[in-house]
Structure 1
Amino acid sequence: MATSTGTISTSAGPLDVSTLVSQLMSAESQSQLTPLTTQASSYNTLISAYGNLKSALSSYQSAIKALTAASFSSQKSSVSNAGTGTSLTTDPFTADINTDASTKILAQKIQSDGVSSGTTFNAGDSIAIKVGTNSPTFVTLQANATLSGVRDAINASKAGVTASIVTDGNGDHLVLESNTGGTANTIKVTSNNTLSRFAYDPSSSTPSAMTQIQAPRDASQAASGSYNVSVSQLAQTQKLSSAGFAPGTTFDKGLLAIKTGTGSTTIIKPTTNTLQGVRDAINASDAGVNATIVSDGTNDHLVITAKNSGAANTIKITGTDNYAAFSFDPSGTLSSPNVTPGQPYSLTNGTLSLKVGDTTTAITLNDANNDGSISLSEVMASINAAGANVTASISNDGSNDHLVLTPTGSAATSAVSLTGTGDYTGLTMSGMGQLLKAQDAKLSIDGVTVTSASNQVENVISGVTLNLAKVTTSADNFTLNISNDTSGVTTAANSFVSAYNTLAKAITSMTQQTPSTTLGESTTSSPLASESSVQNIMTQLRSTLFSSVDGGNGISTLSDIGISFQKDGTLALDATKLSTAATNNFAGIANLFNATDPDTTNTTSSKNGIVTKLQSLLDGILSDSGIIASKTNGLQASLKINQDRQTAVQTRLSNLKDSYTNQFNQLNITLASMASTQSYLTQQLANLPKAS
């Protein structure tokens, strides 16, 4: 290829090469490149426009997904106090509606009898599983299999159930759970030969080895009505505190055993012997408690709190050696080691020191019987006479006596320890104080006494969770009212209309055509004005909004609740008609929007509500294989072809520019040479002798 010089100016010849080449290339570019750049601009505009359309539809999809079943079937609670007096309780509880598990949908579960370990099920034997109205799925064993193999074959068949195995003292049990909840999705199993024990037909009178362990249940709402509620006691979590330990105290011998509620006993051996090491070891265990350290400014106290509230979640701690200081009995008392009944103690050999909280009292031992020795009863009496806010008593376990200490009065929550020397060494004991005792919440609902381990009380009023905060008094007369929230339905319906109108206006703007008012000028069109894909999407959306829904007991279309189309394509809501529908048929409105066909594959079913259908439709439109993705991918492919063509044209134009430049440069040189020759010949002719 010849190289363009392009720098030859008119001084090299009579031609302006640069201008000539520029004019020629402008003409070439106009005819070859401009149509391609115009086309690329059109593709980019459409790609951007479809991106805006996808954004508008995604926003609409998010708004629709927010309109859950609860949005159109919401209920509300109110609490009133009709008591008399000037010091009535305020806000003793609140009520959360439809948070109680009693209203949630449940799937059916069935379980086989016990299967012995190693039982083999033969190749070729089969089982057929039918869920609801679906066609049965047949599962045939391809080889001899254990119960695990049967489970895996069922799960691989996608029969609409999930198979699992549970084990107890009777062997292994095959459990089948329907993948879809509700009474319409019950399980029926037929089987043969070695698999026959797994047959299950709820309509058959023949006993079956498969039994139902969880009945299917449809979703429901909280039970509307008025309930008289009083609260006599709040649930409480047990909290214990140790005696004070000087910072740096170590615990070199022993271990801890902690049992919370009905849980197993956890043995704890701290890896470091400081109080912090004890705390960390407890928290690292699975003992059902949390441990912290609280300083009173002088000493450190280990505080242990049960993780769960309720009377059943009491803490029992047994410590040995140095860790005996953390012992605690659920009764709140401190009990000495075994004492042989009748055992005497020396009047002069030994002492007793009682520590309650941070106060230490030396016990004056009184020989009331004047027999020269101290009996356990006299030890008890001496402690009681000390006035240390501790009551001493004696218990007998059938063989041995025990000195029992119970903190009372202002010391009722204090840690207590008794230190003996000499003859009294065997009475040494220590333990933690109880800051808070474990207790259940106690309340009355319509005169029925209810207890709960938590202050969140469930399963008492169906669908309602009561959150207890205060104890009521005899002067209070609280009523909890559960009712349908028609205002919530109005809010949801307005949101439904508003979301669609926002989308409709956005798409109208994207497809708008504005006729010119000037004669001869063309119409101004938005990027998507001529796109049939957009019209197709809007047609599908309007068709879904116009569709009918079964099961509404008189409410089957949006027009039945006052929602209709206006001339501009947006929706309008008749508030009066909606209010009347909500009052007369609250459940029908929820069905209209959020009903779901048990056959989830039939997305256009008349058993599906409007919102349910819209969600399926939008999921399809916005999916990776949907209409917008397909259109965008096609435009991007066309743009890639266009860009490749532009690159090829630009290469040709560059080569053509070089060719034009070289040709005109050569012509300029030639013309310059000819001009020089002409000048020379002219001079020579002028110098020739003239004829006389």
Structure 2
Amino acid sequence: MATSTGTVSTSAGPLDVATLVNQLIAVESKSRLTPLKAKESGFNTLISAYGSLKNALSSYQSALKLMTAASFSAQKTTVSNAGAGSNLTTDPFTAEANSDDSTKVLAQKLKSGGYASGTTFNAGDSIAIKVGTGSPRFITLQANATLAGVRDAINAAKAGVSASIVTDGSGAHLVLEANTGGTANTIKLTANNSLAGLNYDPAVAGSVTQIQAPRDATKAAAGKYSIGVNQLAQAVKVSSAGIAPGTTFDNGVLAIKTGNGSTTLIQPKSNTLAGVRDAINASEAGVNAAIVSDGSNDHLVLTAKDSGAANSLRVSGTGNFAVFNFDPSGTVTTTGVATNQTYGTGSLTLQVGSTSFTITPSDLDNSGAIGLNDVMKAINDAGTGVTASISNDGSKDHLVLTPAGNAPIKLVGSNDYADLAGSSMGQLAKAQDARLTIDGVAVTSTTNKVSNAISGVTLNLTKLTTPADDFSLSVTNDTSGLTTAANSFVSAYNTLAKAVANLTRQTPSTTKGQASTGSPLAAESSVLSMMAQIRSTMLGALGADGRMNLSQVGISFQKDGTLALEASKLTAAGNKDFEAVSNLFSGAGGVVPKLQKVMDSILGDSGTLAAKTRGLQDSLKIVTDQQSAANTRLQNLKDNYTNQFNRLNLTLATMQSRQSYLTQQLAKLSKSS
């Protein structure tokens, strides 16, 4: 019975063709294919090991990026009270140095003029982008492109800027932001033809404008400052009079305005008080609404989202919503009446909070009739806690009610007094700014977080100071923060060094005559070269004066290749010249910026690691191609062997058949004789 050895079937015969062929191919495979598979495995192992190395180097690069100038120029704040007496205030504020964005480095940002939708830029046109003192990067459009295509081409070129698009009423704008901040990294654009609108030179007016100026990192102004807190900022808060549960609001209009913002019309989906609350919270009126129950009635409480005197609150309601009226002045002004208006029948009811007062005006001035002046006097004599006055708008008089407390008020008149009506929510807290003094200079802030009144310092106000207090804030260099940053510097490198040591370790054999075993990258000189480049950068780093190095601040290499920090030596150097130590690490020529550049060169698309990886991948492809060719040759050889042995098998089978026939014939002859 025939069997198959691959692409050719074996024939029946005395020979086991399949076994013979497989044995021959196994010998051929061992000499031809096995070495190639070993090479493939070796290249894959190296590629994987270089991948692990890249991860370790990338982690180190990320750690370096976190080491900003602020990391090595840490400052601390100390609050103290030198006042005398028994009524001294506990710390009325806390302070943070360099905690906001005001001291951080900024990258330059440019914005083009507006382009209409569908604007096309022509193939072959180009733009050159130059950042700082670097060489310009030329970008040429390979095909007609939209503004999005220009953006993508710039980002793909890695020209030191990031491109994006913003759209407004004047069209689409290309926005370019330098990838590196600081005044040394300004952008210059030179473009031609259809891209000419993207030209930018700060000395020449054009359609591209600067929307963010570059800024170098700074730090808080060190020193001692005398601080007094006279008033805390707060947001206005008002509460309505009690509203019976189940009350509905079926007619009228409610509008809210905060500060200088626009008036927001509130449109409840439900006519209940909860519906009013929910509609306010869903709007952009600038207030938060809540319902508070006193056990009998409900009160709508509104609190402005932003504090400060400028963020006043005005609530205007008509119909059922009139109960929510509130004027920023906290007063209630009635509808204007004629100057000679007199009153005969009816009465007034003034509700202050939950207490109602009946006001019965009389002719107190003996004029022969009850006028608005008599109404005013009657309210003021009623002991309601509300002061009445009269204002004139030039043609008519208005009754103005000013509450002494924070309770809501409501005035209702009957008969002749019907026009004298008005209401106001009670003001639980008024809008006000924070007020403080710094070294005798008056400072105001809309919030209790006061930034940059002292350059680089944020004050968080919590309570008022008293005349007996004498608070001061000291901003000083923080050597403990410097030590923390230096420890991070050492730790980041040691993590990398240990990872590389594991990838390059040689393990001597304990058996005589047996070769040592090594980690995948043990024999890779490129790895040693990368690490040598990093170490030499550290050893060659000098401070701004060209004399200070890492060993002088307590950082040195150990026998195992790791770094060690002598904290006491660093502290002593920091106490002697904090700025010099800070600049050694993070100054323009400091070790951290230099290491960042080294890591960029190692890990960049055209860097050492990428070149090595591409070389290994190319070699792997050659080997896999050789394997494919070898497999094809082995298959062809297998087919040839199978054909040859099949022919031999057929010949032997024929000979066996003839031998059997002759044997049978001879046997017959023997019997017949």
Deviates more, 1:23-32 or 1:475-484: 475-484
1:513 aligns with 2:511: no
- Counterpart CA distance in 2 for 1:640 and 1:540 is 30
- Counterpart CA distance in 2 for 1:293 and 1:498 is 52
Give the residue type in structure 1 aligned to 2:372: L
1:435 aligns with 2:435: no
Where do 1:110-509 residues align within 5 Å?
Answer: 219-245=217-243, 247=246, 249-250=248-249, 252-254=251-253, 256=255, 258=257, 260-261=258-259, 263=260, 265-266=262-263, 268=265, 270=267, 274=271, 289-296=286-293, 301-320=299-318, 322-346=320-344, 349-366=345-362, 368=364, 373-397=369-393, 399-408=395-404, 412-509=405-502
State the secondary structure of the residue aligned to 1:636: helix
* CA contact 1:555–1:589 (8 Å) conserved in 2: no
- Residues 5 and 96 from structure 1, CA distance in 2 versus in 1: closer, same or farther, beyond 3 angstroms? closer
1:36 aligns with 2:39: no
Deviations 1:78-133 (A, max 9, x none): 22345566775434211010246765668999xxxxxxxxxxxxxxxxxxxx9999
Give the residue type in structure 1 aligned to 2:498: K
* CA contact 1:8–1:665 (8 Å) conserved in 2: no
Deviations 1:597-630 (A, max 9, x none): xxxxxxxxxxx21101111221222122222122
- Residues 48 and 214 from structure 1, CA distance in 2 versus in 1: closer, same or farther, beyond 3 angstroms? closer
- Residues 49 and 184 from structure 1, CA distance in 2 versus in 1: closer, same or farther, beyond 3 angstroms? closer
Gaps of 5+ in 2: 110-129, 137-158, 164-176, 189-199, 204-210
Deviations 1:13-47 (A, max 9, x none): 54333432331121121122111111110110010
- The match for 2:557 is 565
- Residues 676 and 632 from structure 1, CA distance in 2 versus in 1: closer, same or farther, beyond 3 angstroms? same
Deviates more, 1:90-99 or 1:676-685: 676-685
* CA contact 1:93–1:469 (8 Å) conserved in 2: yes
- The match for 2:71 is 71
1:637 aligns with 2:635: no
Deviation at 1:371, TM superposition (A): 7.7
- Residues 7 and 284 from structure 1, CA distance in 2 versus in 1: closer, same or farther, beyond 3 angstroms? closer
State the secondary structure of the residue aligned to 1:591: helix
1:542 aligns with 2:535: yes
Deviations 1:290-343 (A, max 9, x none): 242424266554443333322232223444555543332222111112133342
* CA contact 2:8–2:642 (8 Å) conserved in 1: no
Deviates more, 1:29-38 or 1:644-653: 644-653
- The match for 2:117 is none
- Residues 528 and 9 from structure 1, CA distance in 2 versus in 1: closer, same or farther, beyond 3 angstroms? closer
* CA contact 1:252–1:322 (8 Å) conserved in 2: yes
State the secondary structure of the residue aligned to 1:541: helix
Deviates more, 1:449-458 or 1:610-619: 449-458
- Counterpart CA distance in 1 for 2:179 and 2:297 is 58
State the secondary structure of the residue aligned to 2:224: strand
* CA contact 1:95–1:466 (8 Å) conserved in 2: yes
- Residues 380 and 42 from structure 1, CA distance in 2 versus in 1: closer, same or farther, beyond 3 angstroms? same
- Residues 3 and 14 from structure 1, CA distance in 2 versus in 1: closer, same or farther, beyond 3 angstroms? closer
Deviations 1:496-522 (A, max 9, x none): 122112212221222223343434322
- Residues 680 and 9 from structure 1, CA distance in 2 versus in 1: closer, same or farther, beyond 3 angstroms? farther
* CA contact 1:247–1:300 (8 Å) conserved in 2: no
Give the residue type in structure 1 aligned to 2:95: A
- The match for 1:58 is 58
- Residues 8 and 671 from structure 1, CA distance in 2 versus in 1: closer, same or farther, beyond 3 angstroms? farther
* CA contact 1:339–1:400 (8 Å) conserved in 2: yes
* CA contact 2:550–2:556 (8 Å) conserved in 1: yes
**Which of 658, 661, 665 is the aligned partner of 1:677?**
658
- Residues 219 and 641 from structure 1, CA distance in 2 versus in 1: closer, same or farther, beyond 3 angstroms? closer
- Counterpart CA distance in 2 for 1:489 and 1:418 is 66
Give the residue type in structure 2 aligned to 1:632: T
Deviations 1:553-576 (A, max 9, x none): 465322232222233332232333
Normalising by structure 1, what TM-score? 0.75
Query: How many residue pairs were aligned?
Result: 595
Deviations 1:34-62 (A, max 9, x none): 11111110110010010011011011112
State the secondary structure of the residue aligned to 2:431: coil
Cα RMSD (Å) of the superposition? 4.3
Deviations 1:136-164 (A, max 9, x none): 9xxxxxxxxxxxxxxxxxxxxx999x9xx
Deviation at 1:397, TM superposition (A): 4.3
- Counterpart CA distance in 2 for 1:135 and 1:37 is 46
% identical aligned pairs: 61
- Residues 16 and 184 from structure 1, CA distance in 2 versus in 1: closer, same or farther, beyond 3 angstroms? closer
- The match for 1:15 is 15
Normalising by structure 2, what TM-score? 0.76
